[in-house]
Copies of this chain bind each other. A is one copy, B any other.
């Protein structure tokens, strides 16, 4: 399993991360929306047992989201380890999350199971294969609701079929600045892909960050989703890179200036908001590796660590204290550049 987790995706300059999630429901139970508390607990117990008794069980930690503090839950959401929906429902629910954060098994979200794998960079197939292994492992012990025509039965009809959503988080500052994103989003929609902001459905695209995912899963195979999304993402990467290279040819100093100014502010500010920190971190990220020699992992970790709940470190602190703590963390981590 640790081999899977060590997979590092390609194209990290443009692709922040790849996420694949499979929706599954356990046979013989109504969907979570109609689930009684006892039955919800039984599903949790069954899934936990299936995973925890398996060969990879020791790599997972249980998060009881009905009883965890809101801050702790929100921090998991900021890291994309659980979906925003997992915060909102009052249901008995939780998530099994692997120690390295690559695998999350959300229980009693919209469906009984949401098996999610996130990897850094572009690696749709690898993420799918890892999710598939977890899926098999649970399915060996628990039967899923499945229909030979409709595929996996899910609460929302858009998730029927193979019930897989693959999503690639991309940093596209040049396409954003050039105004090309709007047309690109429309074109992607027409051929079955959704483009959303950093936190999925309903979230705005800020900092030039977008999530691109397949819209539906009925009538398409997992392999078709992997191939289709890979092709779309590949084309977007090319477009972004082309503008970027042209700009660099025309004015190499302008980009260096932006990246270094971002580093200067990140490494020196005493008070900094989430939005400013994220904007500057993505600016700095865009300078790796040519302009600044820093690990993508280091920046990507900071990107969630500066967020409001994560920076609070479990304590209910005021916005000003968060702005101070965030600046302190950034100075410690980036003051050396």
Contacts and interface: CB of A to CB of B under 8 A. Distances in A.
Question: DSSP majority for the A interface?
Answer: helix
A265 B268 CA distance: 9
Contact of A253 (B253, B261, B268, B324): B324
Nearest to A268: B264
Contact of A263 (B257, B263, B268, B324): B268
Interface string A245-282: 00000000110110011011111111100000000000
Interface string A119-144: 00000000000000000000000000
A268 B269 CA distance: 13
Contact of A269 (B261, B271, B327): B261
Contacts of A254: 271
A279 to B, nearest CB: 14
A255 to B, nearest CB: 9
B265 A269 contact: no
Contact of A257 (B261, B267, B271): B271
A260 B271 CA distance: 10
A202 to B, nearest CB: 33
Nearest to A265: B264
Nearest to A260: B268
A256 B265 CA distance: 13
Contacts of A256: 270
Interface in A205-232: none
Contacts of A268: 260-261, 263-264, 267
Nearest to A320: B253
Given A253-B271, A264-B265, 12 more contacts: A256-B270, A257-B271, A257-B327, A260-B269, A260-B270, A261-B265, A261-B269, A261-B270, A263-B264, A264-B267, A264-B269, A265-B265
Interface of A: 253-254, 256-257, 260-261, 263-271, 324, 327
Top 10 closest A-B pairs, CB basis?
A264-B268, A264-B264, A257-B270, A260-B268, A257-B271, A256-B270, A264-B265, A260-B270, A253-B270, A261-B269
21 contacts: A253-B270, A253-B271, A253-B324, A256-B270, A257-B269, A257-B270, A257-B271, A257-B327, A260-B268, A260-B270, A261-B265, A261-B268, A261-B269, A263-B264, A263-B268, A264-B265, A264-B267, A264-B268, A264-B269, A265-B265, A267-B268
